[in-house]
Amino acid sequence: MFTRLTFLFLLTSSTLAWGGRSWFEGRYESAHPTAEARQKALDQVRKHKDEVVIRDDLDRKLPTFHKRLEKKVTTGETFCQNCHLPLPHSKKLRSRAFLNMHSRYIACATCHLRPEGVRFDYRWLDYASWRPVRPDHPFRTGLDIDNSIPIDGNLKIAPFFSGEPAIPPKDGPFAEKILRRWREGTPAQRAGLKARLHAPLEEEGPECVACHTSDRPMLDLQALGAEAEQVDLIQFHRIPSFFSRYRGDDEKLKIIGILR
Ligand code: HEC
Ligand code: HEC
Ligand code: HEC
């Protein structure tokens, strides 16, 4: 009993001393990106400087119409969207619309932060209060759209570690620090920053069927509040299973195949 209490106390005090730093921040602090990753980042920073724009700049550059449009798609934006555009997927014509749609209710990190040997819990995170929540009707599939909650992008399925969000909030001290360094940095410093930030991240997210399957799915949909019927609809959805038939990136399949 005594040892258990001591252990608990140690755990609590170390969490406090730790200052609520998210799992991701810890990884960022200890990241040692390879020379190759740094070089790649430098090339990217030089080449793509207009593709990734800090939101402040975007506000100044774009007229109101676009700004309004931007607001509409980014309600509940994430830490990542401080730099990445509201619709971050553009490269692959085939999947980009689906992935951008999923970003409304799935955190970037759920797909892009999947470190080996680490088990995250996936829960609904309220980006406004930065708390885990259990909404009554979180999923839209199979329901009247009005009955569902996360459509405004404020609630997203996010990774948790030891009961805390594994990712930093979009506007906390960590985000401020990173954005300041990004704004004030030389290209070489920005490249170093990009490489460290992305060291724990995956370039590509999981395949569609990682979630759209009943065979060891990545997300426990029922625990996330889906009704049994919705679990089936999501896991056996035709579109994502159609995607798993593609072999190369440029392969074209006939859409009629979706009926098979
Ligand atoms: C400080 C700015 C910044 C932040 C914050 C940021 N990124 Fe990036 N990200 C970049 C830049 C710059 C690139 C290079 C891509 C380009 O220029 O086209 C990039 C590229 C990527 C890529 C493409 C693969 C690669 O590594 O080049 C992915 C995926 C990505 N980011 C995901 C994320 C996710 C997920 C988050 C949040 C956890 C995030 N990024 C946060 C600046 C940022
Ligand atoms: C449902 C999973 C999923 C979510 C959520 C997701 N991504 Fe991705 N992302 C992918 C996959 C898969 C790829 C690989 C490219 C593809 O298949 O189109 C990718 C590629 C990218 C790329 C590479 C460039 C490109 O144009 O495709 C960037 C940058 C990126 N994601 C950033 C983000 C950011 C920022 C967020 C959060 C706003 C996010 N992603 C949310 C799955 C996801
Ligand atoms: C990280 C898990 C995850 C990944 C990866 C993923 N999805 Fe989904 N997808 C979901 C969830 C959860 C829903 C249910 C959303 C809802 O009902 O509110 C969903 C819903 C959908 C829907 C139904 C949308 C609707 O409004 O009824 C389609 C279509 C879909 N996904 C296609 C895809 C495709 C195509 C890919 C790959 C490019 C993909 N998904 C990757 C988790 C994922």
Q: What is the mean pLDDT of residues 14-37?
A: 80
Vertex 90 angle, CA 88 and 92, to 5°: 130
Residue nearest to atom 11 of ligand 3 (CA): 234
Domain annotation covers residue 245 = no
CB neighbours of 155 closer than 8 A, spacing ≥ 6?
76, 105, 124, 125, 126, 127, 133, 135, 138, 149
CB neighbours of 210 closer than 8 A, spacing ≥ 6?
217, 218
Contact 42, 189 (CB under 8 A): no
CB neighbours of 20 closer than 8 A, spacing ≥ 6?
164
- Best mean pLDDT range from 7-16, 51-60, 133-142, 155-164: 155-164
CB neighbours of 28 closer than 8 A, spacing ≥ 6?
174, 196, 197, 199, 200
- Whether 174 lines ligand 3, by a CB cut-off of 6 Å, is no
Domain annotation covers residue 9 = no
**Model confidence band, residue 16 (pLDDT cutoffs 50, 70, 90):** very low
On average, the pLDDT of the chain sits at 81
Domain annotation covers residue 45 = yes
**Model confidence band, residue 145 (pLDDT cutoffs 50, 70, 90):** low
Domain annotation covers residue 44 = yes
Tell me how many domains the chain contains: 1
Domain annotation covers residue 107 = yes
Residue nearest to atom 25 of ligand 3 (CA): 141
Give the Å distance between the CA of 8 and the centre of ligand 1.
37
Give the Å distance between the CA of 87 and the centre of ligand 1.
13
| Paired sense of beta strands 155-161 and 164-165, if any | antiparallel
* Domain that includes residue 85, residue range: 20-240
Give the Å distance between the CA of 84 and the centre of ligand 1.
7
- Whether 234 lines ligand 1, by a CB cut-off of 6 Å, is no
pLDDT by residue (tens digit) across 190-247? 999 999 999 999 999 999 999 999 999 999 999 999 999 999 999 998 888 877 777 6
Instruction: Name residues contacting ligand 2 (CB within 6 A).
Output: 78, 80-81, 84, 88-92, 95-96, 99, 102-103, 106, 108, 110-112, 204-205
Indicate the Cα dihedral angle 189, 195, 196, 197, nearest 10°.
Answer: 100
Domain annotation covers residue 34 = yes
Looking at the chain, the number of H-run helices and the number of E-run strands are 12, 4
The pLDDT, as a whole number, for residue 63 is: 46
Nearest Cα neighbor of 86 from 76, 226, 98, 95 is: 76
| Between 46 and 146, residue with greater pLDDT | 46
The pLDDT, as a whole number, for residue 151 is: 61
The pLDDT, as a whole number, for residue 150 is: 67
Residue nearest to atom 15 of ligand 1 (CA): 44
- Whether 191 lines ligand 3, by a CB cut-off of 6 Å, is no
Please give the full DSSP string across 192-226, using - where no structure is assigned: HHHHHHHTTS-SS---HHHHS-SSS-SS-TTTTT-
Domain annotation covers residue 164 = yes
Domain annotation covers residue 124 = yes
Residue 123, amino acid: R
